[in-house]
Homo-oligomer: A and B are copies of this chain.
């Protein structure tokens, strides 16, 4: 395995539904490990568990993964406990909990429910199928990606100020190119729109599959940055939908919030692949930063 993402999300089957992992410090943001990186590890463990139980490996792809964040994970050993609660038919569902040992005690970090299946080949010929993507497009229901400036005119995440890179080394893992109009918060001029978008790939060009999209939906900074709130916005819950396997090439990612209420905000994310197909979307509920 030559890619950093592949290495850092590697899991090993330990039997009885248990999968071992090692959380790399390179994916930290402030005091915690990035949630999307942890979701990808959980997603790989679920896929491995299902593959070990069904010889035809019929459910390799996430459709919906709901994660409730319980405590902040730290670099070091971790385990994913899995329990298959539905299998057979079109979908399988797995309970998966990411845990770490702290002074000999089992501490749960993330509790997740994951429903997996097999995504269609998105470009197969199904012209006469009323459930085809072509039929959806004809109904105006193929959500189009935002129009972004060319990659080379966008802002590279690894160009973030040194103090930001220091608290968020994961910026060096990501090859994000921010739409400059939605990155003015980095210069102290947040737009106030609550919108951040850009091109996305991993810095080392590691190709991403359907499970990798679970990382991408939590890869941008919190949209509260664009509201002038540069602070820690802990996620309470995140549900990701993977809608299709991504084609190779640059992804387009958009994060947006519409509602702040009761001290929390929801953050919606959409991800399109290089063919313009919506491949993932997610919504999370997070605590509003109390600063500045």
Let me know if A250 is at the binding interface, CB within 8 A: no
Interface centre among A257, A260, A264, A265, by most chain B C-beta atoms within 10 angstroms, is A260
In the bound assembly, the distance between CA atoms of A278 and B261 in angstroms comes to 8
Segment touching B, from A27-35, A62-70, A161-169: A62-70
Count identical subunits in the complex: 2
Asked if B260 contacts A290 (CB within 8 A), the reply is no
Segment touching B, from A6-14, A41-49, A51-59, A108-116: A108-116
Interface centre among A108, A135, A288, by most chain B C-beta atoms within 10 angstroms, is A288
- In the assembled complex, the CB of A271 is this many whole angstroms from the nearest CB of chain B, namely 12
Let me know if A241 is at the binding interface, CB within 8 A: yes
In the bound assembly, the distance between CA atoms of A64 and B108 in angstroms comes to 18
Segment touching B, from A137-145, A178-186, A201-209: A137-145
Query: What B residues does A262 contact at CB under 8 A?
Result: 119-120, 122, 133, 243-244
Asked if A63 contacts B93 (CB within 8 A), the reply is no
Let me know if A239 is at the binding interface, CB within 8 A: yes
Residues of A55-94 at the interface with B, using a CB-CB cut-off of 8 Å, are 63-64, 66, 68, 70-71, 85-86, 91, 93
Asked if A227 contacts B139 (CB within 8 A), the reply is yes
Asked if A243 contacts B263 (CB within 8 A), the reply is no
Asked if B260 contacts A136 (CB within 8 A), the reply is yes
Asked if B63 contacts A66 (CB within 8 A), the reply is no
Asked if A260 contacts B142 (CB within 8 A), the reply is yes
The residue from B135, B141, B290 contacting A259, defined by CB atoms under 8 A apart: B141
Query: What B residues does A140 contact at CB under 8 A?
Result: 192
In the bound assembly, the distance between CA atoms of A192 and B115 in angstroms comes to 29
Query: What B residues does A120 contact at CB under 8 A?
Result: 262-263
Asked if A192 contacts B139 (CB within 8 A), the reply is yes
Interface centre among A66, A122, A140, by most chain B C-beta atoms within 10 angstroms, is A66
Query: What B residues does A259 contact at CB under 8 A?
Result: 136, 141-143, 243, 278, 281
Q: What is the interface of chain A, defined by CB distance below 8 A to chain B?
A: 63-64, 66, 68, 70-71, 85-86, 91, 93, 95, 97, 108, 111-113, 115, 119-120, 122, 130-133, 135-136, 139-143, 192, 194, 227, 229, 236-237, 239, 241, 243-244, 257-266, 277-278, 281, 283, 285, 288, 290
Which 4 pairs of residues, A with B, have the shortest CB-CB distance? A66-B66, A136-B260, A64-B237, A141-B260
